[in-house]
Structure 1
Amino acid sequence: RGAPGVYIYTRGWNPTARLAEQKIAALEGGEDCKIFASGMAAVSSALLRFLRQGDHVVAVRSLYSVTYRFLREFAPRFGIDHSFVDGRDLKEIAAAIRPNTRILYLESPTSLVFDLQDLAACAALAKQRGIVTIVDNSWATPIFQRPIELGIDVVVHSASKYLSGHSDVVAGALIASQKIVDEVVHHEHAILGGNIGPFEAWLLVRGLRTLPVRMNAHQAAAIEVARFLEAHRRVRKVHYPGLPSYPQYELGRRQMSGTSGLLSVELDANLDGVRAFTNALRLFAIGVSWGGYESLALPIAVTDVKPEERGYPIGLVRLYIGLEEPQALVEDLEQALRAW
Structure 2
Amino acid sequence: MDLSYILNELGEDRELYYCAVAPPILQTSNFACRTVDEMREMLRNEAEAYLYTRGNNPTVTMLEKKLAALEGAEHAIAFGSGIAAVSAAVLSQVNAGDHIVCVDKPYGWTNTLMNRFLPRFGVEVTMVDGTDPENYRQAIRPNTKLLYMESPNSFTFELQDIAAIAALAKEQGCSTIIDNSFASPLFQNPIQFGVDLVVHSCTKYIGGHSDTMGGIVCGSRERINKIFEREYMTLGAVLSPHDAWLLLRGLRTLPVRMEHVAETTRKVVAWLEKQDKIAKIFYPFSPSHPQYELARRQMRNNTGQFTIALKTDDIRKIDRFCDSLQHFLMAASWGGHESLIYPAAAYHTPDGKYKSKLAVNLVRFYIGLEEADYLIQDIEQALRMI
Question: TM-score scaled by structure 2?
Answer: 0.85
TM superposition shift of 1:301: 2.5
CA contact (8 A) 2:281 2:306 kept: yes
Q: Runs ≥4 in structure 1, deviation > 6 angstroms?
A: 304-308
| Residue 332 (structure 1) aligned with residue 378 (structure 2) | yes
**Per-residue CA distance 1:311-336 (angstroms, 9 max, x = gap):** x2110000000000111101100111
CA contact (8 A) 1:300 1:307 kept: no
For 2:379, the aligned partner's letter is L
Match of 2:138 among 95, 103, 106: 95
Question: 2:97 matched to 1:58?
Answer: no
Q: Computing the radius of gyration over CA atoms, which structure comes out larger, 1 or 2?
A: 2
Q: Is the 8 A contact 1:33 1:181 kept in 2?
A: yes
In structure 1, which of residues 160, 164, 188 is the aligned counterpart of residue 203 of structure 2?
A: 160
Secondary structure in structure 1 of the residue aligned to 2:88: helix
List aligned pairs for 1:29-108, cutoff 5 A: 29-108=72-151
Larger deviation, residues 12-21 vs 52-61: 52-61
Query: What do the CA deviations read for 1:231-255 (whole angstroms, capped 9, x no partner)?
Result: 1101111011121111111001111
Question: Which residue does the alignment assign to 2:249?
Answer: 206
CA RMSD of superposed structures (Å): 1.7
Q: How many Å separate the matches in 2 of 1:5 and 1:127?
A: 29
How big is each residue's C-alpha offset from its partner over 1:159-192, in whole Å with a ceiling of 9 and x where there is no partner?
A: 0000111101110000010000001011100000
Question: Is contact 2:319-2:345 (8 Å) kept?
Answer: no
Distance, in Å, in 1 between the alignment partners of 2:345 and 2:219 is: 36
Contact 2:206–2:250 (CA under 8 A) maintained in structure 1: yes
Pick closer, same or farther for the CA change 1:76–1:304 going to 2, 3 Å: farther
Kept in 2, the 8 Å contact 1:32–1:176? The answer is yes
Structure 2, unaligned runs of 5 or more = 1-30, 32-41
Q: 1:231 aligns with which of 274, 294, 297?
A: 274
CA distance in 1, matches of 2:222, 2:109: 27
Shift, 1:137, TM fit: 0.3
Q: Distance in 2 between matches of 1:81 and 1:145?
A: 29
Instruction: Say whether residues 1:294 and 2:338 are aligned partners.
Output: yes
CA shift, 1:121, in A, is 0.5
Instruction: Select which of 18, 41, 46 maps to 2:61.
Output: 18
Task: Quote the offset at 1:28 in angstroms.
Answer: 0.3
Aligned AA (2:385): A
* Residues 347, 356 of structure 2: 8 Å contact kept: no
Determine whether 1:122 maps to 2:165: yes
Shift of 1:52: 0.7
Q: Structure 2 CA distance, aligned partners of 1:129 and 1:22?
A: 31
Is 1:27 aligned to residue 73 of structure 2?
A: no
CA distance in 1: counterparts of 2:354 and 2:374, whole angstroms: 30
Structure 1: gaps (5+ residues)? none
Residue in structure 1 matched with residue 17 of structure 2 by the alignment: none
* Distance change (3 Å), C-alpha of 1:274 and 1:309: closer
| SS of residue matched to 1:126 | helix
- Please report how far the alpha carbon of residue 307 of structure 1 lies from its aligned counterpart in structure 2 after TM superposition: 7.1
Q: Which amino acid aligns with 2:309?
A: E
Looking at structure 1, the residues matched to 175 and 301 of structure 2 have their Cα atoms a distance apart, in angstroms, of: 26
Higher RCO (CA-CA < 8 Å; seq separation 6+): 1
Q: State yes or no: 1:322 paired with 2:368.
A: yes
Structure-1-length-normalised TM-score: 0.97
